[in-house]
Structure 1
Amino acid sequence: MASVQHYLFLLALCIIYVESADPSAQLCNENSNKTTTEITKNINSLLSKLVDTTSKSGYSATSFGTGQAQVFGLAQCRGDVSTEDCSSCIQEASQEILKICPNRVDARIWYEYCILRYNTQNFIGQLDTGYGIIYYNVENVTDPETFNEGLGALMYRINMLATGPGSKGVGKGETKLTPFVTLYALSQCTQDLSPLLCRQCLAIAVENFGTICENRKGCRVIYSSCYVRYELYPFFFPLDKKLALESSSMTNYRWVTSKP
């Protein structure tokens, strides 16, 4: 449970959590500067650029404007989702982020399939684990020793994939724990990170598996620079529509926040 001080800090950041078919977290940093008319115009133009590019390629990091009104932005879809799902997610994110943060220069929004953020400070290429959102399954596994051994080996393997050449920052895989139980996992960094920074981000994220998510049947750790998730059911694509819908359910999940 977060301390009172941490709780007040989060309130100051005006973080809004949403539990829905597509779980998300949203941050409007109330400690950041207020927008001006010129910055607002640049944000709108930036979002148009991000939506257009990301809908086609799955990733975009760019800026718009000059001087103090320049705005930097990044958008990225989860590496396994289709172009159609990516486009839909980014378009929704670009609309929602303006609703939750209409007057601040630092805004971020996460969906299961995508992330979008902007700021007048240049964050591109920098590791950001300043705060995280962790979703954990309330149910525990029945054989922690076998489970944790398999999870550790799987995460090592997919994190190596995520930081390898041509990976675009994503790694995914599965491993059989027993003849009847299979563990699935996915890790991803934002593509602006170097392989070294990606490894650092994933290592920080995975540390939560042994604390907040210890022996849990499922866990999702979301930072601004990376994302890790494991489940005892398939959740990454290729996946049929029914399983895709089930994998986004948060019925058995709770969330906490974490700072490194």
Structure 2
Amino acid sequence: MAIVLLALLLFPFADAQWQVCGNTGNYTAASTYQANLGQLSASLPKKASSNTTLFATGTAGAVPDVVYALALCRGDINASACKDCVTTGFQDAQQLCAFSKEATVFYDSCLLSFSNGNFLSTTTNGGNLLLMNSQNFTESADFIRLFLFTLLNDTAESAVNSSRRFTTARMDISSMPTMYCAVQCTPDLTADECAACLQDFPQLTLQYLDGRRGGRVLGVRCNMRYEIYPFYQGDPTLRIISLAPAVPAIGNTTPGTNVTVYPQPPLPPPAAPPAAIIPSVPAQEQRGMLSSQNRAGANRIEENALVWRIEEKSSEFTLFDLSQLLEATENFAEENRLGQGGFGPVYKGQLSDGQEIAVKRLASHSGQGFTEFRNEVELIAKLQHTNLVRLLGCCIQGEEKILVYEYLPNKSLDFFIFDESQSSLLNWYKRRAIIEGVAQGLLYLHKHSRLRVVHRDLKASNILLDQDMNPKISDFGLARIFSSNDTEGSTKRVVGTYGYMSPEYASEGIYSVKSDVFSFGVLLLEILSAKRNSGFHRYGEFLNLLGYTWHLWEEGRWLDLVEASISKEMHEAEARRYINIALMCVQENADDRPTMSDVVAALNSESVVLPEPKHPAYFNLRVSKSVESAIVAETCSLNDVTITQDPQGR
């Protein structure tokens, strides 16, 4: 902290500039390290400015004198300004951090970092440098937190989904100053890596920049800035307009006692007020400093921000009052209970105008926290397709988090196909229509919707049926949005349902549209056979349906898989064709699986020539003597259990 303080006081530059000098050692004048640094200072500014993303990395020399460097310019400036800024960065860094092998310098329009350690191979942001305006908003603190959280959250979300990982935003609020924001990640980060880099920014802002009229969180891999004046060039990428009523003023608040205010170098007009600097704190320590009270406050602000965003974005989406839903469900009466979902019970209800609804009441102890709830609300409200369930609205009140859907009278697909007394109600014609409808819904999610969505939890219990037995995909709490440039994502938090998980997702946390294709293949086999893929069931010597199907396929006994009630309605060639499609979908290697476009084409045309499938995943799971005695004759299955797996045991 002393280094940063002295730098600010002793080296006042016309352009706003801050530096962090490393502690990995020093080099000497005219040394090989200095020559390598000079080589990068000559090449990196041009390299960054000639790249459309205004980003470049470079390496010069060999160990022990190797130098690694990274330059990133703000996404709205031109190439010439970028080149000048990075060039100045090399000059200033070598003056302000004289002979230090590691230095980072931040400007309004660019950042430069170099080191003798290979930080380019990591995606971590390192310690964050926080700057704050020394003046406070005069409006209500709660309103400011709400609006600021919304501004940062929406801008960050937009940046994550941008191919350049950069977004500028403007928020117009009644009776308050207009707020401007920019969020940026280095463009070599994936969407998930960018989101991970930015994930602590809202809480850091609420803790350290609370009520301030401007602030920044600066790091090597990602950064954020907001002000009450336009500090970026051109029109904003994102425009947020508030319809909120006038915000009451409560007077200035006192700066936190743990923050020391230093004068900030002058910024381009309009002049910015002084700023304060908070010492760089490792992310883990920052999280540890957040008290449970602060976390609870941040959660409440996020919930309020979600409600506010929903009100603005969709006139067809209703924010229900809890009293409305209590009346509609007769206080969540047991006789109105439709079933038990993975995250809480679902009830039938009727609104005062006679409209029937399905109400999913998230259990407070369920695995679906506010993140999944928000994900489902914001995602499915934007999706419109005849084979997707329609979300009518939600309720966020106190500890209650409730989702309200259109009511579908025929429950879910698993109710029919896994119950011998009900399966006969679904003849082959209806099952074929369900298969095709689910395929069309997935194709919309993967290719034709504006969001490009991977569902991640496709299963029979998440296929709802309307009065005509038309299928509708439901439950988007675990879904993920892909940018146009991304083909797959990864996570350490594996969520989904055993029996439907692709092998690469279950074992490595890698998911893509091919993960949904795998789940669709499992579902197709279940619809054909009326048997669950896994659980306490035996298929001869096999423990799951995939292995049993592969065994029948190799022997040419296709009709043996098909449920007796529909086998008489199918020709042998038709059974072979549908099993072929299913086996193509559940192949072990994701690259071998078809896309949903290919699947829909194969389902709709008998003229499409289908390739021979390779063996499916998990096909070699067989019953051994050691496990045979453990198999019990119970009608339960792991297929319906949505799981969350955290490798660190949290």
In structure 1, C-alpha distance between the alignment counterparts of 2:202 and 2:108, rounded to whole Å: 18
1:81 offset after TM fit, Å?
A: 1.4
Give the Cα–Cα distance (whole angstroms) in 2 for the partners of residues 215 and 22 of structure 1: 25
1:145 aligns to 2:142 (yes or no): yes
Change (3 A) 1:35 1:20: closer
Q: Displacement of 1:88 after TM fit?
A: 1.9
2:36 is the alignment partner of 1:52: no
Residues 105 and 14 of structure 1: CA distance in aligned 2, closer, same or farther (over 3 Å): farther
CA distance in 1: counterparts of 2:230 and 2:123, whole angstroms: 29
| Aligned with residue 100 of structure 1, among 96, 102, 120 | 96
- The answer on whether the counterparts of 1:219 and 1:231 sit within 8 Å (CA) in structure 2 is yes
Matched, 1:23 2:16: yes
Question: Is the Cα contact below 8 Å between 1:135 and 1:219 reproduced in 2?
Answer: yes
Question: Contact 2:102/2:116 (CA < 8 Å) preserved in 1?
Answer: yes
Alignment of 1:183-222 (within 5 A): 183-222=179-218
Q: How far apart in 2 are the matches of 1:219 and 1:149?
A: 16
Shift of 1:14: 9.1
Counterparts of 1:1-260 in structure 2 under 5 Å? Answer: 10-11=1-2, 16-17=7-8, 20-29=13-22, 31-35=23-27, 37-57=31-51, 58-141=54-137, 142-166=139-163, 168-178=164-174, 181-238=177-234, 245-246=268-269, 249-259=271-281, 260=283
Q: Which runs of 5+ in 1 are unaligned?
A: 1-9
Could you tell which deviates more after superposition, 125-134 or 205-214? 125-134
Kindly tell me: are residues 147 and 20 of structure 1, through their superposed partners in 2, closer, same or farther at Cα, counting changes over 3 Å? Answer: farther
How many residue pairs are counted as aligned between the two chains? 244
Q: Deviations over 1:174-228 (max 9, x none)?
A: 1221166322111111233332232122222332211111011111111222211
Offset, 1:61: 0.7
Moved over 6 A (4+): 12-15
CA distance in 2 between counterparts of 1:138 and 1:13 reads 17
Per the TM alignment, residue 55 of structure 1 is displaced from its structure 2 partner at its CA by 2.4
Q: Is the 8 A contact 2:153 2:202 kept in 1?
A: no
CA contact 1:131–1:257 (8 Å) conserved in 2? no
Q: Which moved more, 1:117-126 or 1:193-202?
A: 193-202
**Residues 151/12 of structure 1: CA separation in 2 closer, same or farther (3 Å cut):** closer
The question of whether the paired residues in 2 share the 8 Å contact of 1:15 and 1:27 is answered with: no
Amino acid at match of 1:254: A
TM-score normalized by the length of structure 1 = 0.84
- 1:230, CA displacement in angstroms? 1.1
Quote the offset at 1:170 in angstroms.
1.0
Instruction: Compute the displacement of 1:44 (Å).
Output: 0.6
Where 1:42 maps in the other structure, the secondary structure is helix
Q: Which has the higher contact order (CA 8 A, sep 6+)?
A: 1
* C-alpha spacing 1:251/1:179, structure 2 compared with 1 (3 Å): closer
> What amino acid sits opposite 1:22 in the alignment?
D
* Contact 1:188/1:228 (8 A) holds in 2: yes
The question of whether the paired residues in 1 share the 8 Å contact of 2:76 and 2:233 is answered with yes
Structure 1 residues 202, 33: closer, same or farther in 2, change over 3 A?
A: same
Q: In 2, distance between residues paired with 1:117 and 1:46?
A: 11
1:231–1:11: structure 2 CA closer, same or farther, 3 Å change rule? closer
Residues in 1 aligned to 2:124 and 2:105: alpha-carbon distance in whole angstroms: 14
**Aligned-pair CA distance for 1:75:** 0.5
CA contact (8 A) 1:61 1:73 kept: yes
Contact 2:70 2:113 in 1 (8 A): yes
